[in-house]
Chain A
Amino acid sequence: MKKLSLMFAASLLVSPLALADVVVIGHSAGPDSITENQVRDLYLNRSNELPDGQKATTFEMASGDAVRAQFHDKITGRNDAQLKAFWSKQVFTGRGQPPAEVNNAAAMKARVSSTPGSIGYIDEADVDSSVKVIFTP
């Protein structure tokens, strides 16, 4: 029985369906915390400044990604089609460009840890010492 439950726990760890909670991560030299409204403002082009006044750089997971869907469900309340429409309006009115997209958690950590003033988001399970968690929705 104990063996079974261990195996069950292990299978949860490796199953891609077992999604832990999304967390917002930042560059190590950036602020230690950020509010939900500030994160939303950065991802909806309403602000381009971190709480400490640094110019912010945001990163997104690619369209269709489960962590991306979870992040936007919690923070901006917009799905992929709505985000696409939102950003096309921003781009073609000259107001801004959408965040650069990355394909997986490792790439997200690499971009965030090497870009001062950057923020991104990953599954809590993927957090390591290269980045710091600045907000948990």
Chain B
Amino acid sequence: MKRLLQLAPLALAIAASSASAQSTEDTLARMQQQLDSMQQQVNTAKNDRVRFNGFFSTGVAKSSNDAGFDGITEKTSVADLSLFALQGTFDVSDKSQAVFQLVGRGAEDWDPVVEWAYLSYRPINNLQLRAGKMRLPLFMYSDSLEVGYSQPWARPPQSVYGPISIKSYVGADATYTMNLDNSAVTGQLFTGFTDEEGTTGPSELRNVFGTTLSWTDYVWTARAIVGTAQVNIDIDLNQDGVHEYALSDGERALFLGLGLGYDDGIWQVISEVTRAKIDGEFADTDSAYVSVGRRFGSVTPYAVIGWIESTDNDDRTFLGPALNTRRDEYSIGARWDITPGVAIKGDVTHVTGFENAAGGLDAAYVLPAGKNSTNVYTLKLDSAF
């Protein structure tokens, strides 16, 4: 009935104007023209040449002692887990885009840092070339490292994601995707350099070369990476910029990683195994994790087991014992999708098995205090918009 009522004025108008067939046609033509121009205006206004997206995280975390797992101590403040990021995507032409991402972190007094600033170009549909500042693609979640909303966990498993503090590089990459019947293979080559403040002091990668290869049928995902770089890592013993000691001085480093994922919409299983080898005093490590999650509507509980071990304990002399690393991580948590774009996560992580070393954590606390474990409790809010 409603529809009939809505149509009534139109019918009346048509009836009124149909004094002659000629004027009806004129009216229709005029209406069509008006409609066309309105459509054009709508499309112009909706021109999507520039788009902005953002993500935001905040949360509280507390540790049972000051071992410093993921930098969290007994008195970590809310701002330490908080970050706000803005991403801009500009269509330069049909085939090229300029992308930037600015991230402000509470732990860094919200000083905005450029994590991405690159130009991408697609000469053909399946090939993407990029140049600029990008994420170092060491892990499955490297590209969305800080986008908590896109991850199942409160934090990426630290056994694998923790040891390498360098997250971004300046350089170029080429990515080729081959679409098969209901699956896809992607190969990527990347090269570049970095200069970042690491966790121990200034660290630098030069002559970075690497390749990743991944395959997915959109339920299973497999990924492999091989990367190499010349590494300079200085450790700032007194944190005063004076007593710097080179843990690695232009030595070549090798990074190997394998990843496997399964996601059928209900179960989500993720596992990564990595090996990092650096000549010199810096610890070589093997690490791995397995994560299993299951979706119950909007709630996804998960459990993660992680492990890291240094493999060159006998080869290091000067700072050897302090960098000897061994630890096990057990996490239980849940993600609750409150509404599209917002998720809350709770997580309890038990870290243990240091075996008389610092477990790759804060040696200045762990060794004198004789600790062999730490518990970390996290409540986090992640959003993307």
Contacts and interface: CB of A to CB of B under 8 A. Distances in A.
Secondary structure of the B contact surface, majority rule: mixed
Nearest to A78: B265
A93 interface: yes
Secondary structure of the A contact surface, majority rule: helix
Interface string B58-88: 0000000000000000000000000000010
A92 B265 contact: no
Contact of A88 (B46, B55, B184): B55
B341 interface: yes
A100 B51 CA distance: 11
A81 B87 contact: no
Nearest to B122: A48
A91 B184 contact: no
B230 interface: no
B39 interface: yes
B332 to A, nearest CB: 21
A91 B53 contact: yes
Interface residues of B, number: 39
B365 interface: no
B265 A63 contact: no
B46 to A, nearest CB: 6
Interface of B: 1-4, 39-40, 42-43, 46, 48, 51, 53, 55, 87, 89, 94, 99, 101, 116, 118, 120, 125, 130, 143-144, 147, 149-150, 179, 182, 184, 218, 265, 298, 337, 339-341, 384
A70 interface: no
B99 A83 contact: no
Contacts of B3: 13-14
A47 B179 contact: yes
Interface of A: 10-11, 13-14, 37, 41, 44, 46-49, 55, 63, 77-78, 80-85, 88-89, 91-94, 97, 100, 107, 110-111, 113-115
A47 B180 CA distance: 11
A128 to B, nearest CB: 12
A49 B341 contact: no
Given A84-B384, A89-B144, 9 more contacts: A14-B4, A84-B340, A84-B341, A85-B149, A85-B150, A89-B150, A94-B99, A97-B48, A113-B39
Contact of B48 (A37, A100, A114): A100
Contacts of A114: 39-40, 43
A4 to B, nearest CB: 15
